[in-house]
Amino acid sequence: MKQLNKLKLQPSLADKQANQHLSVQEKKSLTLIQIGAFLEYFDLYLYVHMAVVLNEIFFPKTDPYTASLIAAFTFSSTYILRPLGALFFGYLGDLFGRKSTIIITTSIMAFCSFTIASLPPYEAIGITAPIVMVGCRMLQGFSSIGEFVGAMTYVTETTKPPKTYFITTLVAFFTNLGSTFALAIGAFFLLINPQNGWRTAFYFGSAIAVVGSIARSQLRETPEFSQEYVRGHTKNKTLIDLLPSRRTRRNFFCYLGVECLRPMYFYLSFIYIAAILRNSYGYTTSEVISHNFGISLIESIAMIAYGRLGLRYYPMSILKIRGLCFLGFACLLPWLLGMAQYAWHLFVIQCGLLILGEGACPAHALFIRAFPAIGRYTQASLAYALSRIVTTLSTAYGCALMGEYFGDVGITILLIVFIGIYLISVFMFKPSTLEKTSKAVSMHLTSSRSGA
């Protein structure tokens, strides 16, 4: 009876939080966070979407199989330094603040984009070209981990459930929009100048990243971190103190497991099927980029839809249902690829992969708030980074090898393994006390609407 009375009292509090208007300063801060996330991932994914062009410029000519391994290496090189980036930026973010850390990450991305734009081709400087290129990609990955988790942490600490679920989804939306915009800009400059248009695109990316760094200097520190800083909870903290403890270890591995899925479905959608379009359907580079632009828009729309659902339904329930549907879709994938006769058939398959495999959206805030305030940036960053390096390496090289010897069936087996890890992580996750209260309120409000 006491529990029922508590539940009856909570909707008014939840409605108050949900309907509470953001202040002008909060709106400004959240806008700067979203813009910064957009700019950062524009630079990060500009190379990914133009890899079909750049790999031919900066790497030696090889046979198709070796070329696929080179593409896998450049794709995975972005993630090699991410664990170090997680520890470095996590330490900075937990001890000195979220604001300064995300400004630094944007500045690093601007430097790398400028270097890539200015780099001579392989024919001009030989082996130096791929070494510098891979180095820039590794440095971009090093900084991007601090950017994404930093933006998610900032938003989580400045908003309340259930609004947090939608606004953190907006961060993911704007990072994806940055990737989509990179496709559009890349296609535009290649259309104007097929030979060197890619350089203009990277100079453009460098310029807007500088603008983003300057704009973010106007951010204020999050209230939650500021309180911990004033209380002295950040003093004398070592990196060991910020790493997962016995109390948070379970949720650490759950977050890692959930984030393991994205590299796999991203690789299948944008790289593996893109190769099919080129080799089997005769698509040109610009046609592949235009095709991928369309599916990227679909993914962005799906993110917003999941964010809106998070305002009404408990996010972990959304992840469970979506994961089970994705498992069924994956079992049909070899048959679907075998039955595909037209390019639009592949387009539909790509949309299915992107919509059903949409990572942690809209539950990012649930995972991030499961960690203590001081240590949150480090632990969330490390889980995210490890998920990327482990699964990206196994995805890139695993798909190349399994695809070579077992075709679509081999790649599907890899996908099912990652979906299994995802589902186990979702069902084993234990939310924080605040989020448990939010879940109870959400369920009560949903049943009230249904009864009405």
| pLDDT > 80? residue 215 | no
User: Residue 69: what pLDDT?
Assistant: 64
Q: Give residue-wise pLDDT tens across range 80-115.
A: 777 888 888 888 888 888 888 888 888 888 888 899
User: Residue 70: what pLDDT?
Assistant: 66
User: Residue 22: what pLDDT?
Assistant: 64
| pLDDT > 70? residue 71 | no
Q: What is the mean pLDDT of residues 400-406?
A: 74
| pLDDT > 90? residue 202 | no
- CA atoms of 285 and 283, how far apart (whole Å): 7
- Top-ranked range on mean pLDDT: pick from 70-74, 212-216, 293-297: 293-297
- CB-based contacts of 257, cutoff 8 Å, min separation 6: 387, 421, 422, 424, 425
User: Residue 10: what pLDDT?
Assistant: 38
Q: Where are the beta strands (DSSP E) in 208-264?
A: none
**Is residue 353 classed as helix, strand or coil in its secondary structure?**
helix
Higher pLDDT pick, 42 / 320: 320
Say which residue the tokens 């029922």 belong to: 4
**Please, are residues 56 and 198 in contact by the beta-carbon 8 Å criterion?**
no
Q: What is the mean pLDDT of residues 141-168?
A: 86
Helix (H) or strand (E) holding 401: helix 376-428
Helix (H) or strand (E) holding 448: helix 433-451
**Please, are residues 302 and 186 in contact by the beta-carbon 8 Å criterion?**
no
Q: Give residue-wise pLDDT tens across range 363-400.
A: 999 999 999 888 898 999 899 888 877 787 777 677 77
**Rg value, the chain, Cα:** 22
- CA atoms of 39 and 31, how far apart (whole Å): 12
User: Residue 256: what pLDDT?
Assistant: 93
- CA atoms of 40 and 306, how far apart (whole Å): 23
**Please, are residues 45 and 109 in contact by the beta-carbon 8 Å criterion?**
no
Q: Which long-range contacts (CB under 8 A, 24 or more apart) does 65-70 make?
A: 65/404, 68/275, 68/400, 68/404, 69/397, 69/400
- CA atoms of 64 and 280, how far apart (whole Å): 14
**Please, are residues 103 and 217 in contact by the beta-carbon 8 Å criterion?**
yes
Structure-token pair, residue 130: 């791929």
User: Residue 342: what pLDDT?
Assistant: 86
CA 93 to chain centre: 19
Residue 368: closest CA among 254, 273, 279: 254
pTM: 0.78
Q: DSSP per residue over 83-148, as a string?
A: HHHHHHHHHHHHHH-HHHHHHHHHHHHHHHHHHHHHPPPHHHHTTHHHHHHHHHHHHHHHHHHHHH
- Listed range (132-141, 190-199, 433-442) with the worst mean pLDDT: 433-442
- CA atoms of 280 and 231, how far apart (whole Å): 63
* CATH numbers and ranges of domains, the chain: 25-230+247-443 (1.20.1250.20)
- Listed range (64-68, 261-265, 387-391) with the worst mean pLDDT: 64-68
| pLDDT > 60? residue 448 | no
**Please, are residues 421 and 265 in contact by the beta-carbon 8 Å criterion?**
no
